[in-house]
Amino acid sequence: MNVFILGLCIYIRNGSFRKAFDKVGRNKEIYKYSYDTRHEEFLYRWGIASLFHDVGYPVEITAKQIGKFVSFITDTVDGERRVKAGIDLDTFEDFNSIPEVIPKEEFTKEFSRNVSESSRIDLLKPLDLIALKIHKDFHVDLETARKSLDRYFDAMKKSGIADHGFFSAIIVLKWYGFLIQKCGYNPNYFFYPVVDCASAILLHNYYRNVLMKEPFRLGKLSPELNPVAYLLILCDELQEWNRRAYGTIDRKRASAGNIKAAISNREISLTYISQNGMLPDSFAAEKTELLDRVLDIGSIFPGGIHLSCEGNGDTPAGLQDEAAADDTGTDMIVPRPLLENLEKLARMIHQEYNARQLERYPERKLEYPTWESLPDDLKYSNMRQARRILDKLRLIGCTVMPKGSGSSRVSRFTDGEIELLAEAEHDFWVRERLSQGWKYGAKKDVDKKISPYLVPYEQLDEEAKQLDRDTVTNIIPLLESIDLEVCRISNGRMIAKEKGI
């Protein structure tokens, strides 16, 4: 989704890319529509390419795990007896084929009539279709393109790696080819946009790994040649925030939790905000060098790409080192129900806030009685509260587990824990507000983004502190509403203990 949204932003903000896409977006001859469908066509093609480009990723992960395990068990003495292991398929031709739901001649006849080279390939074989697309886009020999793709699987098998883009492209073509036949849709919907999307999915790794090398030696990819592939490579490389880490080493590395982005007709600027320590100094430079080597950046961004990194502005002061030092990693222990119910939790946070306000101040009128009446920035604030539940719990040596997990369940927090977590919640809120341009002032002014509460927790009055305490005491019932519970971690690193709580 992050790749999809980033690409959508580039399409909206950059006229040069839109012009490049327009060359493939004029589809009156394909769809027979009487109106301009370019914007719809972009959403269709970019949606398929961006949302499905990693659908084959489990194959790559599995190959790495098998290779790592086999290497481990064979490296018994001197490190010279390691055995490479890769993924093989019993019948690769069955994998590389589109089911024939209707007679092949009927499904392919219009495309065959319009494209002379189609007679040289099997139009129900994904790799043949991609070879033809590479041939037409980059003016390389068709047979050479076919042989290169056919050999690619064997090369991956021997090297013990698996390019997920290769598998993703075939999967997309197999299923779309099947579904379009099954539903009786116009075959042009498959042979033009879907093949274009699948080729882009393959090219997001294959272009630099194969086509830029012998025997093709292609130069930097231009958006005019294949705009969807160009955008996918660009966005996939730039999308380095909010990514799940799978390997042990990756979990220990600093990673970006968010970005600041500015996109225009002239340039694109991204600042990666780390969530657990600082990103390496070389991160931005290496990413910029790779993109400049593979893509013709100047064709749509004459001012270039500017990447930078900064520390997490959403972590309370003094806690960054603790988060970086904890090698368990939040991604390892966040139950999926917590992630999937963020909006539900945010709505419940708002409801609970209103309930407490009515209970304490029955004479006051609620400023935002419903979730729908909340401004976007306050909706975001409630979402942030829900998302940060686990981070707060880790400060007192707790985590989130499914109900009935058998762990040491916490039914209520101690007064000391409530105070510690309330202070942490306030710190999170202050950094959220500052990141949105708010400033301190003695008198609150929403229009000018001025707040008297942008001060350390100990300087708040009791009414303001109680709002943060309410947030903390609400954590346990909130989690129980989605079948989760707060549990102690026996070996947890508790900052609360260090503070004498």
Please give the tally of structural domains in the chain: 3
Residue 322 lies in a domain: no
Mean pLDDT of 63-91: 77
Residue 244 lies in a domain: no
Give the whole-angstrom CA distance, residue 263 versus residue 266.
8
Give the whole-angstrom CA distance, residue 395 versus residue 385.
15
Are both 67 and 114 inside the same structural domain?
Answer: yes
Indicate the range of 264-268, 324-328, 461-465 predicted with least confidence: 324-328
Mean pLDDT of the chain: 84
| Top-confidence residue, 24 or 222 | 222
Confidence band (pLDDT; 50, 70, 90) for 378? Answer: confident
Structure tokens at 483: 């079948």
Give the whole-angstrom CA distance, residue 145 versus residue 147.
6
Is 4 in a helix, a strand, or coil?
helix
Q: What does the DSSP 8-state code read for residue 87?
A: -
Residue 13 lies in a domain: yes
Give per-residue pLDDT as tens, 404-414: 776 688 989 99
What single letter denotes the amino acid at residue 265? N
What is the pLDDT at residue 497?
41
CA 282 to chain centre: 22
Indicate the range of 72-81, 202-211, 459-468 predicted with least confidence: 72-81
Are both 274 and 201 inside the same structural domain?
Answer: no
Are both 335 and 379 inside the same structural domain?
Answer: yes
Confidence band (pLDDT; 50, 70, 90) for 202? Answer: very high
Give per-residue pLDDT as tens, 116-141: 899 999 999 999 999 999 999 999 99
Structure tokens at 356: 């407490």
What is the pLDDT at residue 482?
86
Residue 445 phi, psi dihedral angles, 5° rounding: -145, 100
Give the whole-angstrom CA distance, residue 218 versus residue 56.
26
What is the pLDDT at residue 290?
93
Mean pLDDT of 348-376: 89
Q: What is the CA radius of gyration of the chain?
A: 27
CA 277 to chain centre: 20
Q: Which of 291, 48, 1, 8 is nearest to 168 (CA)?
A: 48
Residue 206 lies in a domain: yes
Q: Which domain holds residue 27?
A: 2-236
Mean pLDDT of 430-451: 87
Are both 345 and 479 inside the same structural domain?
Answer: yes
Confidence band (pLDDT; 50, 70, 90) for 400? Answer: confident
Are both 205 and 280 inside the same structural domain?
Answer: no
Confidence band (pLDDT; 50, 70, 90) for 26? Answer: low
Are both 145 and 53 inside the same structural domain?
Answer: yes
| Top-confidence residue, 217 or 498 | 217
What is the pLDDT at residue 67?
83
Q: What does the DSSP 8-state code read for residue 367?
A: S
Is pLDDT of 175 > 90?
A: yes
Residue 273 lies in a domain: yes
- Where is the domain boundary, 310, 343, 358? 310
Are both 348 and 301 inside the same structural domain?
Answer: no
Are both 170 and 300 inside the same structural domain?
Answer: no
Are both 369 and 395 inside the same structural domain?
Answer: yes
pTM for this predicted structure: 0.63
